Amino acid sequence: MEKYKKRSWAEPYKIKVVEPIKMTTRTEREKALMEAGYNTFLLKSEDVYIDLLTDSGTNAMSDNQWAGMMLGDEAYAGSKNYYHLEENVQKYYGYKYLVPTHQGRGAENIISKILIKPGMFVPGNMYFTTTRLHQELAGGTFVDVIIDEAHDPVNLHPFKGNVDIDKFDALVKKVGADKIPYITIGVTVNMAGGQPVSMANLREVRSYCEKHGVRVVFDATRAVENAYFIKVREKGYEKKSIAEILHEMCSYSDACTMSGKKDCLVNIGGFLALNERDVFEEARNMVVVYEGLHTYGGLAGRDMEAMARGIEESVQWDHIRARIGQVEYVGEKLSALGIPIVVPVGGHAVFLDAKAFLPHLKQIEFPAQTLAAELYLESGIRSMERGIVSAGRSKETGDHYYPKLELVRLTFPRRVYTQAHCDVTVEAVDEVFDRRKSIKGLKMVYEPKYLRFFQARFEKL
Ligand code: F0G
């Protein structure tokens, strides 16, 4: 690694196919934004210039993956691509059993239904929207046990995703371990800014859970990105490969849910992977109700092949270094301009701190939603709110959750945009920053019941 120190990274691939993108005028964007109710999820992709909404399913596949698509075995049962995927999940993630699902939330639904009974509690290192909702729909209550540093956008802790064992222990003492079917550990933690969990913390949580008979279930959606941070930040892991680190991480868990649309470098796909035979049998039975037969789980054979190949590519050092290098590049440029972002910069995105960016707005005026809308208006760049709108409402009181973090996420699809796109993004954010004092907030005029951030509508105050 020393060799790389003074070299700037470059994309470890060249471009073979291009997809033209359209630039729009400000008038066109004003109209599009009004029609979308100031919600970037409701914009048409056609009206977007640089799409930083999400890294989910937006990745560019390699020629090797596309070649694999032609080898799709579209048999209803026993597709050979299923066995290839199973082999690679076992090899790289290390779990014994695989249940494919159409995407991450399909796996979350199944594990929640099997393990959570009404009245139970599910601790986790910060919530994720779909994960918490499935836990709640199964009758569980989510409890946040992440370290306090995670809620502070400027705290420089290298592993802000870590579980606070004292908080976890307090929950176990309060409700009893028999009321806790498992702890969910997000590696990395999306809502905290793509922040990683250290190997030491994973080991510690594992030994605590073994003592108390609580399972560990990973949300492994960005586990390869987490492995990268362990390699570059945690003592003793400098010389280990990403694959070795990933394997060790997963060895401290009993199961994982996976959105293959991120780390696995595909456009659709996910899985549930497990080590316990009886839970696997139940999951394999349930997947036929909600997703499809247990050897395809809602996916085409070609999708499973692309995911199997994507897993192999995802653990390559050149890939992951450039992937996170790009995100860090944008973060460093924004920081240098004095623009408030979550630090350290995480794995999949740069998160603008909307509270610090628009300090004159109250949280109920939706600062992050406002900032995402303004950035689109300025430049055609699409980002995502990760604040009070995403947090939703408490199922007990019906009131909004008021999360400490009120963020706008500039999320980078893997292998899609160039450094020039990154530069334009920085320039656009800086232009919004220059006129921040004149920006007014929003009011919510339509609110769907579940995962409201996807479809809520707003008007200018
Ligand atoms: N867990 C994490 C940490 C995620 O980021 C996501 C999706 C899921 C689970 C659900 O997976 O979408 O395949 O059903 N995150 C996307 C995002 C939507 O934009 O962050 P899914």
Kindly report, residue by residue over 252-278, the tens digit of the pLDDT.
999 999 999 999 999 999 999 999 999
Q: What is the pLDDT of residue 3?
A: 58
Query: Six-digit token pair at 372?
Result: 């995402």
How many CA within 13 A on the CB side of residue 357? Answer: 36
Q: Please, what are the domains in the chain?
A: 2-55+317-460 (3.90.1150.10), 63-314 (3.40.640.10)
What integer pLDDT is reported at residue 282 of this predicted model?
98
For the residues of 218-263, what is the DSSP string, one character each?
EE-TTHHHHHHHHHHHSTT-TTS-HHHHHHHHHHT-SEEEEETTST
Q: Take residue 368 and report the two structure tokens written for it.
A: 């992050």
Q: Which of 105, 222, 261, 262 is catalytic?
A: 262
pLDDT beyond 80 at 5:
no
- Residue 346 pLDDT > 80: yes
Question: What pLDDT is recorded for position 458?
Answer: 98
- 104 CA to centre of ligand 1 in angstroms: 6
In this predicted model, what pLDDT tens digit does every residue of 174-221 receive, in sequence order? 999 999 999 999 999 999 999 999 999 999 999 999 999 999 999 999
Q: Hey, what are 386's tokens?
A: 């990760």
Q: How far is the CA of 222 from the centre of ligand 1 (A)?
A: 9
Residue 40 CA to ligand 1 center (angstroms) comes to 17
Atom 9 of ligand 1 has which residue's CA nearest to it?
104
Task: Tell me how far CA of residue 6 lies from CA of 3, 324, 416, in angstroms.
Answer: 8, 17, 25
Atom of ligand 1 nearest to the CA of 259: 13
Q: How far is CA 188 from the centre of its chain?
A: 7
Q: Which of 101, 129, 130, 257 does the annotation list as catalytic?
A: 129
Is 160 a catalytic site residue? Answer: no
Dihedral sign computed on CA atoms, order 392, 393, 394, 395:
negative
DSSP state of 400: B
Phi and psi at residue 31, in whole multiples of 5°?
A: -65, -45
H/E stretch holding 4: none
Confidence (pLDDT) at 395: 83
Average pLDDT on 100-128 reads 98
User: Ligand 1, atom 10: nearest CA belongs to which residue?
Assistant: 104
Q: What is the pLDDT of residues 361-370, one digit of tens each?
A: 999 999 999 9
Beta-bridged to residue 143, according to DSSP, are 123
> Could you give the CA distance from residue 366 to residue 369 in angstroms, rounded to a whole number?
5
Ligand 1 pocket test, pick from 133, 224, 262 with the greatest ligand atom count within 8 Å of Cβ, gives 262
Q: How confident is the model at residue 9 (pLDDT cuts 50, 70, 90)?
A: confident
- Under DSSP, the state recorded for 283 is H
Strand order in the sheet with 384-386: 349-353, 407-411, 384-386
Is 117 labeled as catalytic in the residue annotation?
Answer: no
- Tell me, yes or no, if 218 is annotated catalytic: no
Inform me whether the pLDDT recorded for 4 exceeds 70: no
Q: Compute the average pLDDT of residues 47-60.
A: 98
| Sign for the pseudo-dihedral over CA of 21, 26, 30, 33 | positive
The atom number, within ligand 1, closest to the CA of 191 reads 3
- Provide the greatest CA pair distance for the chain: 62
pLDDT in tens, 75-108: 999 999 999 999 999 999 999 999 999 999 999 9
Q: 259 alpha carbon to ligand 1 midpoint, in Å?
A: 6
Q: Quote the ligand 1 centre to 130 CA distance (angstroms).
A: 7
Of the pLDDT bands very low, low, confident and very high (cuts 50, 70, 90), residue 6 is low
State the catalytic residue, choosing from 38, 128, 280, 357.
Answer: 128
Q: Hey, what's the torsion of the CAs at 255, 259, 262, 266, to 10 degrees?
A: 120
In DSSP notation, 354-399 reads: HHHHSTTS-GGG-HHHHHHHHHHHHHSEE-EEESHHHH-B-TTT-P
What interhelical angle do 199-212 and 242-251 show, nearest 10? 20
Average pLDDT across the chain, whole number: 97
**Residue 10: predicted pLDDT:** 85
Per residue in 279-316, pLDDT (tens digit) is 999 999 999 999 999 999 999 999 999 999 999 999 99
**290 in catalytic set:** no
Nearest to 239, CA basis, from 230, 248, 251: 230
What's the 129 CA to ligand 1 centre distance in angstroms?
8
Name the residue at shortest CA distance from atom 11 of ligand 1: 104
Burial degree of 133 (CB within 10 A; 0-12, 13-18, 19+): buried
Give the closest residue (by CA) to ligand 1 atom 18. 56
Give SS3 for 134: helix
Residues with a CB atom less than 6 Å from ligand 1: 54, 56, 103-105, 128, 130-131, 186, 190, 219, 221, 259, 261, 270
Q: What percent of the chain has pLDDT over 90?
A: 97
Q: What percent of the chain has pLDDT over 70?
A: 98
pTM: 0.96
Asked if 399 is an active-site residue, the reply is no
